Amino acid sequence: AQRVTQPEKLLSVFKGAPVELKCNYSYSGSPELFWYVQYSRQRLQLLLRHISRESIKGFTADLNKGETSFHLKKPFAQEEDSAMYYCALPTGANNLFFGTGTRLTVIP
Amino acid sequence: ETGVTQSPTHLIKTRGQQVTLRCSSQSGHNTVSWYQQALGQGPQFIFQYYREEENGRGNFPPRFSGLQFPNYSSELNVNALELDDSALYLCASSRDLVSTDTQYFGPGTRLTVL
Protein backbone atom coordinates (compact mmCIF):
# COMPACT_ATOMS: atom_id res chain seq x y z
CA ALA A 1 0.00 0.00 0.00
CA GLN A 2 1.14 3.53 -0.66
CA ARG A 3 1.87 5.48 2.47
CA VAL A 4 4.24 7.89 4.13
CA THR A 5 5.58 7.74 7.65
CA GLN A 6 6.83 10.63 9.73
CA PRO A 7 8.38 9.05 12.81
CA GLU A 8 8.69 12.23 14.87
CA LYS A 9 5.58 14.00 16.13
CA LEU A 10 7.63 16.75 17.77
CA LEU A 11 11.05 18.18 16.99
CA SER A 12 12.77 21.04 18.77
CA VAL A 13 15.98 22.67 17.62
CA PHE A 14 17.83 25.84 18.55
CA LYS A 15 17.94 28.78 16.19
CA GLY A 16 20.89 28.43 13.86
CA ALA A 17 21.11 24.66 14.28
CA PRO A 18 20.54 22.26 11.39
CA VAL A 19 17.14 20.66 11.13
CA GLU A 20 16.03 17.42 9.50
CA LEU A 21 12.44 16.28 9.37
CA LYS A 22 12.14 12.63 8.46
CA CYS A 23 9.79 11.10 5.95
CA ASN A 24 9.79 7.51 4.74
CA TYR A 25 7.50 6.24 2.03
CA SER A 26 6.09 3.03 0.68
CA TYR A 27 5.37 3.12 -3.03
CA SER A 28 5.81 0.83 -6.00
CA GLY A 29 7.31 2.85 -8.80
CA SER A 30 8.82 6.30 -8.99
CA PRO A 31 7.11 8.44 -6.37
CA GLU A 32 6.37 12.12 -6.56
CA LEU A 33 6.64 13.48 -3.06
CA PHE A 34 5.71 16.76 -1.46
CA TRP A 35 6.29 18.65 1.73
CA TYR A 36 3.40 20.78 2.96
CA VAL A 37 3.66 23.26 5.82
CA GLN A 38 1.14 24.87 8.12
CA TYR A 39 2.26 27.93 10.04
CA SER A 40 0.33 29.07 13.08
CA ARG A 41 -3.13 30.36 12.13
CA GLN A 42 -2.46 29.84 8.43
CA ARG A 43 -3.74 27.30 5.98
CA LEU A 44 -1.89 24.27 4.73
CA GLN A 45 0.39 25.19 1.84
CA LEU A 46 2.90 23.54 -0.42
CA LEU A 47 6.51 24.00 0.68
CA LEU A 48 8.33 22.04 -1.98
CA ARG A 49 8.00 19.10 -4.30
CA HIS A 50 10.48 16.44 -5.32
CA ILE A 51 10.03 16.91 -9.03
CA SER A 52 11.08 20.57 -8.94
CA ARG A 53 14.35 19.93 -7.10
CA GLU A 54 14.03 23.39 -5.64
CA SER A 55 15.06 25.05 -2.40
CA ILE A 56 12.30 26.99 -0.70
CA LYS A 57 12.99 29.16 2.35
CA GLY A 58 16.32 27.38 2.64
CA PHE A 59 14.73 23.93 2.81
CA THR A 60 15.70 21.09 0.52
CA ALA A 61 14.55 17.50 0.25
CA ASP A 62 16.25 14.71 -1.63
CA LEU A 63 14.56 11.54 -2.70
CA ASN A 64 16.57 8.50 -1.61
CA LYS A 65 15.09 5.49 -3.36
CA GLY A 66 17.42 3.07 -1.61
CA GLU A 67 16.26 4.18 1.82
CA THR A 68 12.76 5.12 0.57
CA SER A 69 13.12 8.47 2.26
CA PHE A 70 12.39 12.11 1.46
CA HIS A 71 13.78 13.95 4.45
CA LEU A 72 13.40 17.72 4.69
CA LYS A 73 16.55 19.60 5.64
CA LYS A 74 17.68 23.09 6.42
CA PRO A 75 21.22 23.95 7.50
CA PHE A 76 20.33 26.83 9.83
CA ALA A 77 16.90 26.90 11.46
CA GLN A 78 15.09 30.20 11.93
CA GLU A 79 12.35 31.02 14.42
CA GLU A 80 9.89 31.55 11.58
CA ASP A 81 10.38 27.92 10.56
CA SER A 82 8.34 26.82 13.57
CA ALA A 83 5.32 25.10 12.07
CA MET A 84 3.64 21.79 11.36
CA TYR A 85 5.22 19.90 8.46
CA TYR A 86 3.55 17.15 6.48
CA CYS A 87 5.09 14.80 3.96
CA ALA A 88 2.64 13.77 1.22
CA LEU A 89 2.45 11.25 -1.59
CA PRO A 90 0.01 11.34 -4.52
CA THR A 91 -2.10 8.17 -4.49
CA GLY A 92 -4.23 8.81 -7.52
CA ALA A 93 -5.07 11.58 -9.89
CA ASN A 94 -3.82 14.44 -7.75
CA ASN A 95 -5.09 13.31 -4.38
CA LEU A 96 -2.63 13.06 -1.54
CA PHE A 97 -1.76 10.64 1.25
CA PHE A 98 -0.39 12.69 4.14
CA GLY A 99 1.85 11.60 6.94
CA THR A 100 0.87 12.36 10.51
CA GLY A 101 3.05 15.45 10.58
CA THR A 102 5.96 16.77 12.62
CA ARG A 103 5.65 19.88 14.73
CA LEU A 104 8.91 21.80 14.51
CA THR A 105 9.75 24.29 17.23
CA VAL A 106 12.77 26.51 16.80
CA ILE A 107 14.01 27.75 20.14
CA PRO A 108 15.41 31.31 20.15
CA GLU B 1 -2.01 33.23 -4.14
CA THR B 2 -4.68 31.00 -2.65
CA GLY B 3 -8.31 31.92 -3.22
CA VAL B 4 -10.00 28.87 -1.71
CA THR B 5 -12.68 29.71 0.82
CA GLN B 6 -14.77 27.48 3.06
CA SER B 7 -17.93 27.99 5.07
CA PRO B 8 -18.84 27.85 7.81
CA THR B 9 -15.72 28.22 9.94
CA HIS B 10 -17.12 26.22 12.82
CA LEU B 11 -20.14 24.00 13.19
CA ILE B 12 -21.67 22.04 16.04
CA LYS B 13 -24.07 19.20 15.35
CA THR B 14 -25.51 16.27 17.26
CA ARG B 15 -25.29 12.59 16.45
CA GLY B 16 -27.60 11.49 13.68
CA GLN B 17 -27.92 14.91 12.10
CA GLN B 18 -26.84 15.84 8.60
CA VAL B 19 -24.37 18.55 7.65
CA THR B 20 -23.35 20.38 4.48
CA LEU B 21 -19.96 22.05 4.20
CA ARG B 22 -19.14 24.41 1.38
CA CYS B 23 -16.03 25.28 -0.56
CA SER B 24 -15.28 27.82 -3.22
CA SER B 25 -12.32 26.88 -5.39
CA GLN B 26 -9.93 29.19 -7.16
CA SER B 27 -11.26 30.37 -10.47
CA GLY B 28 -10.11 28.11 -13.29
CA HIS B 29 -9.46 25.12 -11.04
CA ASN B 30 -11.32 22.09 -12.31
CA THR B 31 -10.45 19.74 -9.46
CA VAL B 32 -11.55 19.85 -5.86
CA SER B 33 -10.53 17.38 -3.19
CA TRP B 34 -11.92 17.03 0.31
CA TYR B 35 -9.92 15.88 3.31
CA GLN B 36 -10.75 15.06 6.90
CA GLN B 37 -8.18 15.98 9.53
CA ALA B 38 -8.74 14.48 12.94
CA LEU B 39 -6.92 15.95 15.90
CA GLY B 40 -3.24 15.10 15.84
CA GLN B 41 -3.44 13.45 12.43
CA GLY B 42 -2.59 14.40 8.90
CA PRO B 43 -5.35 15.17 6.41
CA GLN B 44 -7.07 12.04 5.10
CA PHE B 45 -8.48 11.97 1.57
CA ILE B 46 -12.27 11.69 1.37
CA PHE B 47 -13.01 12.16 -2.34
CA GLN B 48 -12.21 14.23 -5.36
CA TYR B 49 -14.32 15.87 -8.06
CA TYR B 50 -13.19 16.82 -11.52
CA ARG B 51 -15.47 18.85 -13.78
CA GLU B 52 -18.48 17.99 -11.60
CA GLU B 53 -17.93 14.24 -11.52
CA GLU B 54 -16.48 12.14 -8.72
CA ASN B 55 -12.99 11.06 -9.71
CA GLY B 56 -11.75 9.10 -6.75
CA ARG B 57 -12.70 8.18 -3.23
CA GLY B 58 -10.83 7.34 -0.08
CA ASN B 59 -11.84 4.91 2.63
CA PHE B 60 -14.99 6.72 3.72
CA PRO B 61 -18.55 5.32 3.89
CA PRO B 62 -21.29 6.35 1.45
CA ARG B 63 -22.84 8.70 4.01
CA PHE B 64 -20.04 11.06 2.95
CA SER B 65 -21.11 12.52 -0.39
CA GLY B 66 -20.29 15.53 -2.46
CA LEU B 67 -21.17 17.77 -5.32
CA GLN B 68 -19.20 20.10 -7.54
CA PHE B 69 -20.88 22.93 -9.42
CA PRO B 70 -19.92 24.75 -12.63
CA ASN B 71 -19.15 27.95 -10.73
CA TYR B 72 -16.15 26.33 -8.96
CA SER B 73 -18.07 25.76 -5.75
CA SER B 74 -18.51 22.39 -4.10
CA GLU B 75 -20.18 20.72 -1.15
CA LEU B 76 -19.41 17.95 1.25
CA ASN B 77 -22.46 16.30 2.78
CA VAL B 78 -22.34 13.97 5.74
CA ASN B 79 -25.44 12.07 6.79
CA ALA B 80 -26.15 10.32 10.09
CA LEU B 81 -23.33 12.08 11.90
CA GLU B 82 -21.23 10.09 14.34
CA LEU B 83 -19.03 11.31 17.15
CA ASP B 84 -15.92 10.26 15.20
CA ASP B 85 -16.87 12.65 12.41
CA SER B 86 -15.65 15.49 14.62
CA ALA B 87 -12.68 16.89 12.72
CA LEU B 88 -11.37 19.70 10.57
CA TYR B 89 -12.61 19.35 7.01
CA LEU B 90 -10.39 20.78 4.31
CA CYS B 91 -11.04 21.33 0.68
CA ALA B 92 -8.27 21.81 -1.84
CA SER B 93 -8.48 22.89 -5.44
CA SER B 94 -6.06 22.35 -8.28
CA ARG B 95 -6.03 23.15 -11.93
CA ASP B 96 -6.40 19.65 -13.33
CA LEU B 97 -5.72 16.01 -12.52
CA VAL B 98 -1.97 16.04 -13.00
CA SER B 99 -0.40 14.57 -9.88
CA THR B 100 2.20 17.32 -9.72
CA ASP B 101 -0.38 20.11 -9.77
CA THR B 102 -0.23 22.19 -6.62
CA GLN B 103 -3.24 21.78 -4.38
CA TYR B 104 -4.43 24.99 -2.77
CA PHE B 105 -6.11 24.46 0.56
CA GLY B 106 -8.90 26.34 2.20
CA PRO B 107 -8.81 27.31 5.87
CA GLY B 108 -11.10 24.44 6.82
CA THR B 109 -14.38 23.92 8.63
CA ARG B 110 -14.17 22.56 12.15
CA LEU B 111 -17.07 20.20 12.80
CA THR B 112 -17.94 19.11 16.32
CA VAL B 113 -20.44 16.30 16.78
CA LEU B 114 -21.97 16.01 20.24
Q: Which of B99, B101, B104, B110 to mutate to test the interface with A (most CBs of A within 10 A)?
A: B99
pLDDT for residue B90 = 97
Length of chain B: 114
Which residues of chain A from 46 to 105 reach within 8 Å of chain B, CB to CB?
Answer: 46, 49, 51, 86, 88, 90-101
pLDDT for residue A32 = 86
Q: Tell me what the pLDDT averaged over chain B comes to.
A: 93
pLDDT for residue A3 = 87
pLDDT for residue B97 = 76
| Cα-based distances in Å from A98 to A62, B49, B73, B82 | 18, 19, 24, 23
Q: Are A21 and A13 in contact (CB under 8 A)?
A: no
Asked if the model's pLDDT at residue A94 lies above 90, the reply is: no
- pLDDT 10s digits, B7-29: 999 999 999 999 999 999 988 89
pLDDT for residue A27 = 85
- pLDDT 10s digits, B54-98: 988 999 999 999 999 998 899 999 999 999 999 999 999 998 877
pLDDT for residue A46 = 93
